[in-house]
C-alpha cells in the first residue's frame, strides 16, 4: 500500500534529509587513508545526534550494529563499521545514512574516493552518479516506477559496467522501508504509478565485473561475487507537482545541480 505524504510531511522529512546532506559534506574531508570505518561511524552518530530530535535509523534496525552502513570496494551495501578496518589509498567507500526526526525517515548514500583512485574507478563513480540523476528526473507525477529503472539502464548501457539487479530502492516515510520497491531495471511506462506525495529512496548500485552478489558470513555485508568494485549513490526524493524534490541533497548539490530541494 502506498503512503502518500502531505506537503507539510515532506517538509518534516526534508529537515532530516538536510542533516544527512550536511553529514556527507563533512565526511568529504574525513574519508582518507588510515581512518577506520569505526571512526567514521562514531563521527556520523555524534553528528546526527547533535541535531535536536535526530537519531540514526540504522542503529539496531533488524539488529544492525552500526549507526551507518560503511561499505568498502567490493562491498555493495550493509558493511559493518569496525575500528580494525582502515581505509587505504585508492579505496572507495560508500557511507549509507538514515536519519529519523520527529517520526519521519530520510535515507541517502554516497561513494567517496580514498585519496587518488584509478581512471576505471573514476568512470564507475561518474556512471553511478549519472544513473542516479537520470533516475531522479523520472520521479514525476504520471510516470511509473519502470521509468526510474529504465533511466538507470539507459545510463549504464554501453559502459561495460553492471547494474546490481537483486537490490532495490524503496518507498520511505514513517518507516525507512515502505512500498513500492524501486528496482534499478525496468521498462518505461510500466510498474507502480508515481503519484504526487509519494516519497522514494532511489539508489542505483553499479559494479565493474558482475551483477551477481553474495552475503558474507557476518550476515550483513553484501559483496560482488567476483569481488570487483561497486559504487552506490542514493537520494530520498519526493514526487511533487513541481517535479522531483531531492530531500537529502548536500549544500553543494542543492546550490549547483538544479535539484528541487
CA 156 to mean position of chain CA atoms: 17
Tell me which residue range forms the domain holding 87. 7-256
Q: Where are the beta strands (DSSP E) in the chain?
A: 54-56, 69-72, 75-77, 92-101, 104-113, 162-163, 169-171, 178-182, 199-202, 205-207, 213-215, 222-224, 230-232, 235-240, 243-246
Give domain status of residue 107, yes or no: yes
Rounded mean pLDDT, 167-178 = 98
Mean pLDDT of 236-260: 80
Provide, rounded to the nearest whole percent, the portion of the chain with pLDDT above 70: 96
Q: Which residue has the higher pLDDT, 128 or 257?
A: 128
Instruction: Indicate whether 101 belongs to any domain.
Output: yes
Q: What is the pLDDT of residue 36?
A: 98
Query: Considering the entire predicted model, what is its pTM?
Result: 0.95
C-beta separation of 151 from 135 below 8 A: yes
What's the mean pLDDT in 235-241?
A: 98
| Residues in Cβ contact with 258 at an 8 Å cutoff, skipping those fewer than 6 apart | none
At residue 99, what are phi and psi to the nearest 5 degrees?
Answer: -125, 135
Instruction: Give domain status of residue 261, yes or no.
Output: no
The span from the CA of 63 to the CA of 237, in Å, is 26
Burial 60-77 (b: 16+ CB within 10 A, else e): eeeebebbbbbbbbbbbb
- Mean pLDDT for the chain overall: 96
- Cβ neighbour number for residue 117 with a 10 Å cutoff: 17
- Judge whether 96 lies within some domain: yes
With respect to residue 244, please indicate whether it lies within any of the assigned structural domains: yes
178 DSSP β-pair partners: 171
| 100 assigned to some structural domain | yes
Mean of pLDDT values over 30-56: 98
Q: Which residue has the cell 517538509?
A: 11
| Tens digit of each residue's pLDDT (9 = 90 or more) over 49-103 | 999 999 999 999 999 999 999 999 999 999 999 999 999 999 999 999 999 999 9
Closest alpha carbon to 132 in 244, 31, 27, 14: 244
Is position 2 within any domain? no
Cβ 130 vs Cβ 164: under 8 Å:
no
pLDDT digit string (tens) for 157-167? 999 999 999 99
**CA–CA separation, 169 and 84 (whole Å):** 30
CATH of the domain at 199: 3.90.230.10
pLDDT tens string 249-260: 976 666 554 455
Question: What angle do helix axes 145-156 and 119-137 make, rounded to 10 degrees?
Answer: 150
Query: What one-character-per-residue DSSP string does 153-219 give?
Result: HHHHTTSS-EE-SS--EEE-SSSSSEEEEE-S---TT-SSB--TT-EEEE--EEESS-S-EEE-TTS
**Could you give the number of structural domains in the chain?**
1
Amino acid at each position: 500500500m502506498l503512503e502518500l505524504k502531505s506537503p507539510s510531511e515532506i517538509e518534516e522529512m526534508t529537515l532530516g534529509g538536510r542533516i544527512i546532506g550536511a553529514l556527507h559534506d563533512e565526511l568529504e574531508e574525513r574519508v582518507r587513508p588510515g581512518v577506520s570505518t569505526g571512526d567514521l561511524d562514531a563521527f556520523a552518530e555524534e553528528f546526527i545526534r547533535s541535531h535536536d530530535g535526530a537519531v540514526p535509523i540504522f542503529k539496531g534496525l533488524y539488529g544492525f550494529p552500526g549507526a551507518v552502513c560503511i561499505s568498502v570496494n567490493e562491498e555493495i551495501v550493509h558493511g559493518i563499521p569496525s575500528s580494525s578496518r582502515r581505509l587505504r589509498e585508492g579505496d572507495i567507500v560508500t557511507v549509507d545514512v538514515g536519519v529519523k526526526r520527529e517520526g519521519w525517515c530520510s535515507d541517502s548514500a554516497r561513494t567517496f574516493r580514498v585519496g587518488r583512485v584509478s581512471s576505471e574507478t573514476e568512470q564507475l563513480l561518474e556512471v553511478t552518479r549519472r544513473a542516479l540523476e537520470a533516475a531522479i528526473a523520472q520521479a514525476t507525477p504520471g510516470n511509473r516506477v519502470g521509468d526510474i529503472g529504465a533511466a538507470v539502464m539507459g545510463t549504464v548501457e554501453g559502459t561495460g559496467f553492471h547494474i546490481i539487479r537483486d537490490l532495490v530502492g524503496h518507498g520511505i516515510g514513517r518507516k525507512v522501508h515502505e512500498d513500492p520497491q524501486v528496482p534499478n531495471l525496468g521498462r518505461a511506462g510500466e510498474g507502480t504509478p508515481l503519484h504526487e506525495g509519494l516519497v522514494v529512496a532511489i539508489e542505483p548500485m553499479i559494479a565493474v565485473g558482475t551483477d551477481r552478489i553474495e552475503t558474507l558470513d557476518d550476515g550483513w555485508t553484501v559483496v560482488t561475487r567476483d569481488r570487483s568494485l561497486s559504487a552506490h549513490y542514493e537520494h530520498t526524493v519526493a514526487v511533487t507537482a513541481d517535479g522531483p524534490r531531492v530531500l537529502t541533497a548536500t549544500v553543494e548539490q542543492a546550490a549547483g545541480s538544479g535539484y528541487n530541494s
